[in-house]
Amino acid sequence: MDSSKMEWYVLITMPRSEKKVAKRLLDMGIESYCPVVKVLKKWSDRKKTVLEPLFRNYVFLRIDYKERFSVLKDCGAVNYLYWLGKPAVIRDHEIETIRAFLNEHDQVILEKASIGKSTAVVITAGAFLHHTGVVQEVRGAQAKVLIDSLGVQLVATLPISKITPAPRG
């Protein structure tokens, strides 16, 4: 990994402080992005459209890998989001996709991706670590995953916590 390369990371914030953290980062000269959506709030006496963060407790920031921990001291953030033991890196095109999507659509709702039948997945733990497969069945917190490997088909029943949706494309 080129440590001098500026990359996007996900900063975890205290609850309801995403916009404040993003502003503090900008004030520090660090490129940050807190995607917001318009939400109609209703009170007993009025209605008002407010901007709320699309991703609760998350702010994206673009920073050099070596500088990433200096941010935690100054801006009021909790930690970075980690994936497989390393700070999660968000690709530039993914940030641009979020921006473009929010520019085109007013009413946006964030839904967690679910793992269901026929979902392509990557196994994240155990003997089949990093192998890909297709979910054949889901029962509670267990998924039966078909793994094509060595010209044979292996079917393993795995906890859903040990698989993740495979990247598309």
| Domains contained in the chain, CATH given | 6-104 (3.30.70.940), 120-165 (2.30.30)
Closest among 128, 104, 116 to 160, alpha carbons compared = 116
Residue 34, pLDDT above cutoff 60: yes
Q: Using the 8-state DSSP alphabet, how is residue 161 labeled?
A: G
How far does CA 128 lie from the centroid of its chain?
24
Residues 35-51 pLDDT 10s? 999 888 998 999 998 99
What are 120's two structure tokens? 């392509």
Number of alpha carbons in the 13 Å side-chain half-sphere of residue 5: 10
Structure confidence at residue 155 (pLDDT): 65
Residues 41-85 pLDDT 10s? 998 999 998 999 999 999 999 999 888 888 888 677 899 998 878
Q: 122, 132 in Cβ contact below 8 A? A: yes
